[in-house]
């Protein structure tokens, strides 16, 4: 359920941050909408929600009634395993949608937790469905987003099932680089919002293994690591590691 104390309606003064003028709109929403269609979308997405680091947007078992477009910040999703451990199932940054895990059962199946102070746009799902039936481009885009999530899940399964530790971490860093590039940031230098332990949970690796592989990559001149600050020095060689090849 929404925490209404952290949900803000869009005033006229905040119109400049609506979908039609948001710098991330091409990442999380379709391009090519007419102005009337964009106006209807702006009317649909009329709430913002701020979330402090460590707080959740929703928890497993909560009723599903909305999806969320990450406007700023970073999130992780986790599920509780039978042994009591939290398993990280995904990381989400600006321009990405979270909350679609609840579409099938109308209950959320995971926790969504902010890794830093963040803001999301609240998209009521029933209203999104209604508008999608009328605006074909929006429906098509939403199907593409859902397909992208399925492909991402398959990619994680491949990571966990067939790759060595070095390949998993290389693939993770290359993926982050590509996602930062799509948002206009440096492809080779960024700050990790997640901990080594969270990366290990996501990749199916122990904390010690993640730290060892980071050290190996640094020794081989592939990356420079200073706590959470990462600089990729040799992207082509990192991609070769990811694709089961040895760097030249």
Mark whether 113 and 20 lie in a shared domain.
yes
| Final residue in a domain of this structure, among 109, 140, 171 | 140
For residue 62, what are the CA distances in angstroms to 8, 66, 89?
21, 11, 18
Mark whether 71 and 169 lie in a shared domain.
no
pLDDT score recorded for residue 24: 63
Mean pLDDT (10-residue bins), the chain, 248 residues: 46 49 63 70 77 96 93 94 90 90 92 96 87 78 73 67 88 91 89 96 95 96 94 94 59
Q: 21 lies in a domain?
A: yes
Mark whether 186 and 88 lie in a shared domain.
no
The CATH number that applies at residue 192 is: 1.10.10.10
Mark whether 106 and 183 lie in a shared domain.
no
pLDDT score recorded for residue 145: 73
Mark whether 13 and 121 lie in a shared domain.
yes
**Number of structural domains in the chain:** 2
In this prediction the pTM is 0.82
Q: 150 lies in a domain?
A: no
pLDDT score recorded for residue 188: 92
| Final residue in a domain of this structure, among 85, 109, 140 | 140
Mark whether 167 and 128 lie in a shared domain.
no
Q: 155 lies in a domain?
A: no
Mark whether 121 and 204 lie in a shared domain.
no
Mark whether 61 and 116 lie in a shared domain.
yes
Mark whether 11 and 125 lie in a shared domain.
yes
Mark whether 179 and 134 lie in a shared domain.
no
> What is the span of the domain harbouring residue 228?
163-242
Mark whether 130 and 12 lie in a shared domain.
yes
pLDDT score recorded for residue 154: 64
The CATH number that applies at residue 82 is: 2.60.120.10
Instruction: Please provide the DSSP assignment of the chain as one string.
Output: ---GGGEEE--GGGGGGSGGG-TTHHHHS-S---HHHHHHHHHHS-EEEEE-TT-EEE-TTPBP-EEEEEEESEEEEEEE-TTSPEEEEEEEETT-EE-GGGTTTSB--SEEEESSSEEEEEEEHHHHHHHHHH-HHHHHHHHHHHHHHHHHHHHHHHHHHH--HHHHHHHHHHHHHHHHHHTTS-SSEEE--S-HHHHHHHHT--HHHHHHHHHHHHHTTSEEEETTEEEES-HHHHHHHHTT----
Q: 81 lies in a domain?
A: yes
């Amino acid at each position: 359920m929404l925490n209404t104390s952290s949900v803000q309606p869009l005033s006229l003064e905040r119109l400049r941050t609506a979908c039609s003028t948001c710098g991330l709109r091409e990442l999380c929403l379709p391009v090519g909408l007419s102005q009337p269609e964009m106006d209807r979308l702006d009317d649909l997405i009329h709430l913002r929600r701020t979330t402090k680091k460590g707080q959740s947007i929703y928890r497993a078992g909560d009723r599903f009634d909305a999806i969320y477009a990450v406007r700023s910040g970073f999130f992780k999703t986790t599920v509780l395993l039978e042994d009591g451990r939290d398993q990280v199932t995904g990381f989400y940054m600006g321009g990405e949608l979270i909350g679609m895990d609840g579409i099938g059962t109308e209950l959320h199946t995971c926790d969504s937790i902010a890794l830093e102070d963040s803001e999301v746009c609240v998209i009521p799902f029933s209203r999104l469905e209604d508008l999608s039936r009328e605006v074909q481009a929006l429906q098509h885009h939403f199907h593409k987003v859902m397909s992208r999530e399925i492909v991402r899940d398959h990619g994680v399964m491949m990571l966990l099932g067939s790759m060595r530790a070095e390949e998993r971490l290389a693939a993770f860093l290359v993926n982050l680089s590509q996602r930062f590039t799509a948002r206009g940031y440096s492809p080779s230098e960024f700050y990790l919002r997640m901990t080594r332990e969270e990366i290990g949970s996501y990749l199916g690796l122990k904390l010690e293994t993640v730290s060892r592989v980071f050290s190996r990559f640094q020794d081989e001149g592939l990356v420079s690591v200073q706590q959470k600050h990462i600089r990729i020095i040799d992207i082509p060689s990192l991609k070769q590691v990811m694709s089961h090849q040895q760097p030249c």
